[in-house]
Amino acid sequence: MAKNYANIYNGGNDSVAPNQRFYITQEAIRGTMEAPANENFLFTLNGGTISFTQSVMQSEHRSDRHNTSFIKEKKATEWSFNTYVNIDTDVVAGATEIDGAMRVLWKSLLGREQVSSGLIYDSAIDPSITFTLMEVGDHWAKQAPAAWVDTCNANFPGDGQSQLEWAGRAATSYMVGISKSAVDNTGGNTFTADVAGEARRAPVGALVMFVALDGVTRLEGTDLAPRTVTATDPLTGIITVDGAAFIDMDGVEAAFLVYWEPETPTAINNPITGLVGSVTLDTLSVSCVRSLSVSINNQHEAVDYCYGTDALASPYFVPADRLLVEVSMEVNLNASLVEFYNRVLAFEGHNLDVDLGNIASRHLHLDLPYVVFSIPEVSVPDSGSIPVTFDGTAYQSALGAADELTVSYL
């Protein structure tokens, strides 16, 4: 069923959380927003958000003991969400077995994508792409250009669902809503809202579309591409957009200015949650891993220090610190683990492989060829088995190998 923006506008309801959707589109030019298409949709889990803040502080001007003015600090945009690992197990291994949005996330996280009998991601190339991230609700949408991935936590619990926890930053965020006009807008590039204050629902820089009175039909070519807001005037209600002059906005029937989003979003809906999978080490024979997590942190330098700018400035991030890949593994104490513990005590390196899904079909594979664990504390609980947690860091196997982590969809 098509989304009806007239019903949303006229319904009078407050926004509700289940209507949240995310779209990710790689940018051709860093910081220049790219409009998502249907295939740029991505299934996410509860709790995701684009968080935009700009703090103010009290001015230090002295006059009396009362605050009389404030000073704005720089804008900050952060985002995070969790996803399942969705794989299309019915297609040949390659570019189409995961969503295009997920491919962008992996490229932004690790740097290099290879398509060779599957999708392969590693850090042989420094991350360099940005993407447009859109969080779309009902009355509202957030549009964030120049987004990138800073961290990802891959969690493989034995008593829950495997998930990927993504987080990063972006240059800024536009909060866009829905406004209505019943006047003649034909012949120009201005949309006059019936309620003047509704012009504030279309901030300059936002991507928008125009929808007919039925709430579904898209006008002025915005069924194919959005318009960009170039000016707003909340005193007159006039919103100016780029592109050709309007030809079908005569006011005979009302029209709506709406945040941009694709008409029929599509994504792979086949979560691989960990009921089938394995964890193997070359130095330990273990039948049961209670849980495993792999934390990837780019430690990028955010370019938030440029004079004369109120937010992140181009190039928005610099891969200026080491890629940090950390592992946490919980297993039960047994005879084999005594041997493994003493190998850890000798600071040996360990080859770790993680498979999520059936290895005879499409599945996710993580290869960490050289992990060094710290010496763990072994505490005995009041009852039950004795879990031991090994925390370690993944290193490249040789100078210049850049192989501390390779992620493959096989």
pLDDT tens by residue, 323-348? 999 999 999 999 999 999 999 999 99
In the block, residue with structure tokens 């941009």: 260
Backbone φ and ψ for 169, nearest 5 degrees, come out as -130, 170
pLDDT tens by residue, 132-149? 999 999 999 999 999 999
Of the pLDDT bands very low, low, confident and very high (cuts 50, 70, 90), residue 31 is very high
Give the pLDDT confidence score for residue 287 in this predicted structure. Answer: 87
Of the pLDDT bands very low, low, confident and very high (cuts 50, 70, 90), residue 262 is very high
326, burial (CB in 10 Å: exposed 0-12, middle 13-18, buried 19+): middle
Of the pLDDT bands very low, low, confident and very high (cuts 50, 70, 90), residue 299 is very high
Considering all CA atoms of the chain, what is the largest pairwise distance in Å, rounded to the nearest integer? 81
In the block, residue with structure tokens 């501390």: 404
Mean pLDDT value of segment 387-396: 98
pLDDT surpasses 80 at 252: no
162, burial (CB in 10 Å: exposed 0-12, middle 13-18, buried 19+): buried
CATH of 274-409, one of 3.40.50, 3.30.1360, 3.30.420, 2.30.110: 2.30.110
Chain Cα centroid distance, residue 336: 40
pLDDT tens by residue, 55-65? 999 999 988 88
pLDDT tens by residue, 302-323? 999 999 999 999 999 999 999 9
Fill in the amino acid letter for 399: L
Integer-rounded Cα Rg, in Å, for the chain is: 25
Chain Cα centroid distance, residue 373: 30
Of the pLDDT bands very low, low, confident and very high (cuts 50, 70, 90), residue 127 is very high
pTM for the model stands at 0.95
Measured distance between the N- and C-terminal CA atoms of the chain, rounded to whole angstroms:
35
26: tokens are: 């790689």
Choice between 116 and 210, residue whose per-residue pLDDT is larger:
210
134-158 residues labelled b (16+ CB within 10 A) or e (exposed): bbbbbbbbbbbbbbbbbbbbbbbbe
Mean pLDDT value of segment 166-181: 98
Averaged pLDDT score across all residues of the chain? 96
Backbone φ and ψ for 57, nearest 5 degrees, come out as -125, 155
How far is residue 35's CA from residue 260's CA, in Å, rounded to a whole number? 8
Fill in the amino acid letter for 281: L
Of the pLDDT bands very low, low, confident and very high (cuts 50, 70, 90), residue 381 is very high
pLDDT surpasses 80 at 277: yes
Backbone φ and ψ for 76, nearest 5 degrees, come out as -135, 130
pLDDT tens by residue, 57-108? 999 998 888 999 999 999 999 999 999 999 999 998 899 999 999 999 999 9
| pLDDT-wise least confident of 29-33, 190-194, 357-361 | 357-361
Q: What is the dihedral of CA 275, 281, 283, 284, to 10 degrees?
A: -10
pLDDT surpasses 80 at 1: no
Fill in the amino acid letter for 220: E
